Structure 1
Amino acid sequence: MSLRLVFWILGAFAALGLILWGITYLWEGLGSDVSGHGWFAYILGGVMTLGLSFGLFLLTFHSARHGHDDIDTPGK
């Protein structure tokens, strides 16, 4: 794994943390009370969404770089 990819992953998790913190701040301002299970599901949902999108983008780029997306001609 390249250093550039590691920085992108860390940046994505930092952005996710900032977004989760911002939404939490808004919820507390509205007076909503969320249980511990709710917080766990909230954070797990964010992390799993980020992981799924990262994995799908990685598969897309891998496929394109290794020729899996090339159109085969009938004469081959």
Structure 2
Amino acid sequence: MSRKLIFWVVASFLFLGAMLWGISRLWESNADGLSGHGWVAYVLGGVLTLALSMGLFLLTFHSARHGYDEIDRPEDRTDQNIDYRQ
């Protein structure tokens, strides 16, 4: 893994942690707080959402870099001797 990717992964988790801390302070000031089960669901939902979004972005970039998104049209081919109309 490159240093840039590691930086963005760490930064994403730090941002997630800051959001969890901020929202927890907001909730605790307005109500009785969360139970242990609520905290587990809260953290697990955030981590899984972040992991899913990172995975989908990485797949998108991988696909674009390796040419999987290119349209293969007959008129773009260089060998003109083959008749592609069938």
Considering the TM-score relative to the shorter chain, is it more than 0.5?
Answer: yes
Unaligned runs of 5+ in 1: none
Larger RCO of the pair (alpha carbons < 8 Å, separation 6+): 1
Query: Which 4+ residue blocks in structure 1 deviate beyond 3 angstroms?
Result: none
Per residue, is there more helix in 1 or in 2?
Answer: 1
TM-score by length of 1: 0.95
C-alpha distance in structure 1 between counterparts of 2:45 and 2:3, whole Å? 27
For 1:9, the equivalent position in structure 2 comes to: 9
Q: For structure 2, which runs of at least 5 residues remain unmatched after alignment?
A: 78-86
Count of matched residue pairs? 76
* Identical residues among aligned pairs (%): 62
Larger Rg: 2
Once the two structures are superposed, the pairs formed by residues 1-76 of structure 1 within 5 Å of their partners are 1-75=1-75, 76=77
